[in-house]
Amino acid sequence: MADELNAKFASLGIEDAKAKEIMKNKKVATALGEIIEESGASGEQQKAVVALLQSLATKTKDCKDEAAKANRKLVSRAILEGRLKTNVQVDAAWKYVETAGNESNDADLDKESGVGVVITDEQVAAAVDSYIEANKADIEERRYKAVPSVITGVKALPEMKFANPASFKPIIDEKILKLLGPKDERDLVKKKEKAPKKDEGKKGGDSATTNTRSMFSEGFLGNLHKPGGNPQKYEERMKEHLEFTGGKVFTRFPPEPNGYLHIGHSKAITVNFGYAQYYNGKCYLRYDDTNPEAEEEVYFRSIREIIEWLGFEPYKITHSSDYFDQLYELAEKLISKGLAYVCFCTPEEVKEQRGASADGKSKGGERFACSHREMAVDKALEEFRAMRDGKYKPGEATLRMKQDLSNPNPQMWDLVAYRVLNASHHRTGDKWKIYPTYDFTHCLVDSIENISHSLCTLEFYLSRESYEWLCDAVEVYRPAQREYGRLNITGTILSKRKILKLVNEGIVRGWDDPRLFTLVAIKRRGVPPGAILSFVSQLGVTTSTTNIQVSRFENSIRKYLEDHTPRLMMVPDPVPVILDNLPDDHFEEISIPFKPGSPEMGEHKVPFTKKVYVDRSDFREEATDGYFRLAPGKSVGLLKVPCNIRVTSFKKDESTGKVTEIHAHYENDIPFKKPKTFIQWVADAPSHGSPVKIDEVRLFNQLFKSENPSAHPDGFLADVNPESETVLKGALIEKGFHEVKQKSPWVAPKSAEEEKDGLRGKEKPGAPEAVRFQALRVGYFCMDSDSSDDKLVLNRIVTLKEDSGK
Ligand code: ATP
Ligand code: MG
């Protein structure tokens, strides 16, 4: 039997060693023998063909049924005829015959197993693209560690079923490189998590907490290079750099002063200022003012104030425009090195040169250089100076860098370095008629300011190459640009243009309307800076974009406020309660802690008298099961008051049906029994300063109805929630409010995140929004900036619980 099989194998040219191996598995060997028999295979066969037959034998080793064996013949013939070329195809073919049974035929078998299907590299590339797009966040997060899963993932795509898997890897490698850039320090395979080094550069280093990992010592920021660790083309430049910085971290926060900062910027601020502070370095506030047309003084001031509010102090406040002279010199240097030219092409022509059709609609063709690219150095210098001296009008000439049109990165296709703008600049006045672009300015100013870590958001990823190219081209110190994921809030809009529309249409009362997510709005609404810092810290920094729902943001704020705010009794919709059995002049002082369980927050006294106010929602005309608040005959506790009260009667305004007065009995004549509920109250005791009247309480809900207002078919304005703000008039609050106001900003303990990150917000004494408290059983509130000496306006910061108020 064995000899017979061996002879069969030999007849197909299977070598002895191989035959021996096959013989090890009796069943498979037998099946293979049968297959050779059935198919009439003879003559020497290629190794690949034998391997496929062997794999068919493995699959069918238990096959006894004659009909099935006949079908197997269809498959083995297809292998021998070279129609089936891969294991995947053999699998598919066998599956087909198993299902089709005696209906099986060659034509269908071919169809089901992809015979003759040719998958081109372009098709593979397209599949890889869509796979990467769909899994971008994960890939960006795991970077090169994600590559094996990308290969498996692409292989598993149905349209790639019959593709040659060998073609995947090179295509995937190329795409990943484009997405992630070359491997860097984040891609080092770490043996073990670094043990946090004690006191490593940490400011103030409280030893009790130095070994808690911070957002700056883990994740994206924890993996950044040490100062001096960024490679240079010119080694000498690193020496000069380190001499200037003393080996310290130098970062910058570079806002464009063309609008108010929004919630996303709080991440950029925390990342840049916080990282420098954590490692004992310095952070510049640099106004990126190269677009003179869009800049306004209010934005400069507002940006500075928000940074201070978040507790950061810039090392220096600079402007890109401070360096216009140096930048100009570097531009001439670039031209002198033959690496820039003055270009007179129109934007449409440039588009075409970059391989797009002029209208940008169709794909266009090859990239090509324009005739100006070959301009002689002298001529280019002369023309650039002519640009500077006003010979050309805006749009007529630009200075373009001579980069690398064959590079797949569009940021290398001869970017514009300077353009003509007939605009006066708020700092340099009419001195310049030409202004440098972001691409030219950003890296060079980073270099001039000796930035060790140029941290920016992901959309600049492709700019990294041009950033490094330009620094090297003009032979200056080359900072390291590293990109992290943006922070976005969903269910709202952040775009300047759209917010302006809301303001202009009167839908919100200004850029700082508490329903918006600009930082001035969040501040006005009463969110403390420490809550923002904790929020950013909790999210951490990675290379993926973080999309957060408004409700999640609010939850984080709520948690912070829970630990950090004093409590007061407020009655939004007051109804008087007369305690009939108390004498008219009854007066008691009741001590109330500002926060139960936090004696360090202190306590305060409020008067308790014959007439008190309670909230309308705490009273019902009839008692029902499961209802524990005020109703005729029910006993309820008033918070911190020694005895309970029991409702005896009430009066109603017949025309409105509203309850106008409740009468109750103060149960000081029976032993105290813990009530089911305590409610908040405010005494009517004008001679003791109670109650404090609130002119307006503004209750905010989400400004938009959907999670994605911009996607509304009729435009985002159609998605505005008509109930985004409700105003209550006539609310009352206890007199403890005065003390909360006077002591604000309330000195509260650091949050866990502030503690480990070394961060601390900084609110100004007298700032209305810093007067904040929890109104017991109602919500968190602060004073609005519309308040004055004789008008008190409160904002609801957040509700007490996630869903109430919606
Ligand atoms: P927007 O277009 O949203 O107004 P921007 O990028 O134009 O923002 P800049 O003034 O240029 O605003 O931003 C200053 C810095 O803040 C930049 O480094 C930018 O990367 C960063 N930044 C902007 N938006 C976000 C965001 N959503 N999350 C994190 N960082 C951000
Ligand atoms: Mg910008």
Over residues 432-456, the mean pLDDT reads: 98
φ, ψ of residue 692 to 5 degrees: the values are -95, 125
Provide the strand spans (E) within 281-397. 282-287, 317-319, 340-343
pLDDT surpasses 70 at 63: yes
Of 10-24, 159-173, 357-371, the range with the lowest mean pLDDT is 357-371
Q: What is the pLDDT of residues 735-790, one digit of tens each?
A: 999 999 999 998 777 888 888 999 999 999 999 999 999 999 999 999 999 999 99
| Atom 23 (ligand 1) nearest CA | 265
Q: What is the pLDDT of residue 358?
A: 60
For a mutational test of ligand 1's pocket, the pick from 253, 262, 265, i.e. the residue with the most ligand atoms closer than 8 A to its C-beta, is: 265
**Long-range CB pairs of 142-148, under 8 A, 24+ apart, other chains included:** 143/180, 143/183, 143/186, 143/187, 143/543, 144/176, 144/180, 144/183, 144/187, 145/187, 147/172, 147/173, 147/176
> Could you give the CA distance from residue 692 to residue 245 in angstroms, rounded to a whole number?
56
Q: Is 264 in the pocket of ligand 1 (CB under 6 A)?
A: yes
Instruction: Give distance in angstroms: CA of 411 to centre of ligand 1.
Output: 19
Closest CA to 674 of 648, 632, 635: 635
Task: Please provide the average confidence, as pLDDT, over all residues in the chain.
Answer: 91
> Per CATH, the architecture of 121-181 is what?
Orthogonal Bundle (1.10)
Q: Is the pLDDT of residue 393 over 90?
A: yes
- Among 270, 295, 457, residue to substitute to test ligand 1 (most atoms within 8 Å of Cβ): 457
pLDDT at 230: 95
Residue 457 Cβ inside 6 Å of ligand 1? The answer reads yes
Q: How confident is the model at residue 391 (pLDDT cuts 50, 70, 90)?
A: very high
Write down the pLDDT at residue 356: 80
- CA distances from residue 63 to 28, 53, 58 in whole angstroms, order as listed: 10, 15, 10
The CATH class of the 1-113 domain is mainly alpha
Asked whether residue 698 carries a pLDDT value surpassing 90, the answer given is yes
Q: What gap in Å lies between CA 601 and CA 584, rounded to an integer? A: 34
Q: What local confidence, expressed as pLDDT, does residue 198 receive?
A: 41
Q: Which pLDDT score, from 0 to 100, does residue 196 have?
A: 43
CB 9 within 8 A of CB 42: no
Q: Which stretches of 653-757 are assigned E, i.e. beta strand? A: 659-666, 678-679, 682-683, 692-694, 696-700, 725-728, 731-733
Q: What is the mean pLDDT of residues 584-608?
A: 94
Q: How far is the CA of 256 from the centre of ligand 2 (A)?
A: 6
Every domain of the chain with CATH number 2.40.240.10 lies at 567-799
Please determine, for residue 530, whether its predicted confidence score (pLDDT) is greater than 50. Answer: yes
Residue ranges of alpha helices (H) inside 344-403 are: 347-353, 377-388
**CB-based contact 780:793 (threshold 8 Å):** no
257 lines ligand 1 (CB under 6 A): no
SS3 string, 133-145, reads: HHCHHHHHHHHHH
660 pLDDT above the threshold of 70: yes
Atom 22 of ligand 1, nearest CA residue:
265
Confirm or reject: Cβ of 254 under 6 Å from ligand 1. yes
φ and ψ of 756, to 5 deg: -80, -25
**Tokens matching residue 183:** 């491997």
**305 CA from centroid of ligand 1 (Å):** 17
Q: What is the pLDDT of residue 632?
A: 95
Residues whose Cβ atom is located within 5 A of ion ligand 2:
256
User: What is the average pLDDT across 280-290?
Assistant: 97
Q: Check residue 75 and give its pLDDT.
A: 93
d(CA 707, CA 701): 14
Q: Report pLDDT for 415.
A: 97
Q: What share of the chain is helix, strand, coil (3-state, %, to 5)?
A: 40, 20, 40
CA of 259, closest atom in ligand 1:
4
**Residue 734 near residue 615, CB atoms below 8 Å:** no
CB proximity list for 519: less than 8 A, separation 6 or greater: 260, 261, 262, 263, 265, 266, 306, 309, 532
> Within 10 A of 796 (CB to CB), how many other CB atoms are there?
25
Which ligand is in closest contact with the Cα of 456?
1
Q: What is the pLDDT of residues 148-197, one digit of tens each?
A: 888 888 887 878 888 877 788 888 888 888 888 777 767 766 544 444 44
Q: Is residue 453 lining ligand 1, measured as CB closer than 6 Å? A: no
How does pLDDT run across 567-577, given as a tens digit for each residue?
999 999 999 99
Report the alpha-carbon distance of residue 131 to residue 353 in Å, rounded: 30
DSSP 273: I
Residue numbers annotated as active site = 256, 486, 496
Does ligand 1 have an atom closer than 6 angstroms to the CB of 265?
Answer: yes
Say whether pLDDT at 514 is over 80: yes
For residue 574, the model assigns a pLDDT of 98
543: pLDDT confidence band, cut at 50, 70 and 90? very high
CA nearest to 489, candidates 533, 432, 548: 548
Is any ligand 1 atom within 6 A of the Cβ of residue 519?
no
In the structure, what pLDDT confidence band is assigned to residue 200 with cuts at 50, 70 and 90? very low
For ligand 1, the distance from its centroid to the CA atom of residue 316, given in whole angstroms, is 20
* Ligand 2 center–CA 714 separation, angstroms: 27
Which range among 206-215, 438-447, 510-519, 661-670 shows the weakest confidence by mean pLDDT?
Answer: 206-215
Distance CA 253, CA 68 (A): 72
Classify the C-alpha dihedral 734-739-744-748 as positive or negative: negative
More confident residue, 438 or 69: 438
| Residues, the chain | 806
For residue 470, pLDDT over 80 is answered with yes
Kindly state the percentage of the chain with pLDDT values over 90: 70
Q: What is the pLDDT of residues 123-142, one digit of tens each?
A: 888 889 888 988 888 888 88
> Who has greater pLDDT, 85 or 397?
397
Which residues of the chain does CATH 1.10.10.2420 include?
A: 121-181
Tell me how far the alpha carbon of residue 264 lies from the centroid of ligand 1, in angstroms.
Answer: 7
pLDDT in the model for residue 359: 64
- Longest distance between any two alpha carbons in the chain, whole Å: 119
pLDDT bin (cut points 50, 70, 90) of residue 210 is: very low
Q: What pLDDT is stored for residue 240 in this prediction? A: 97
The pLDDT value given to residue 205: 39
Q: What is the distance between the terminal CA atoms of the chain, rounded to a whole angstrom?
A: 82
Which atom from ligand 1 is nearest to the alpha carbon of 457?
A: 20
pLDDT at res. 752: 87
Strands in 692-694's sheet, in edge-to-edge order, are: 570-571, 731-733, 692-694
Q: Which residue has the higher pLDDT, 163 or 668?
A: 668
Q: How confident is the model at residue 445 (pLDDT cuts 50, 70, 90)?
A: very high
Q: Please report the pLDDT score of residue 313 as a whole number.
A: 97
- pLDDT, one tens digit per residue, over 77-94 is 999 999 998 888 898 899
State the Cα–Cα distance between residues 283 and 583, nearest whole angstrom: 66
CA distances from 688 to 232, 574, 606, 680 (A): 73, 19, 9, 18
Pick among 2.40.240.10, 2.60.120.10, 1.10.3720.10, 3.30.1280.10: CATH of 567-799: 2.40.240.10
pLDDT at 207: 38
Tell me, using a 6 A CB cutoff, whether residue 267 lines ligand 1: yes
Check residue 762 and report its DSSP letter.
-
Q: Which ligand is nearest to the CA of 259?
A: 1
Whole-number pLDDT of residue 44: 85
**pLDDT at 310 > cutoff 70:** yes
Distance CA 106, CA 108 (A): 6
Q: What is the pLDDT of residue 357?
A: 67
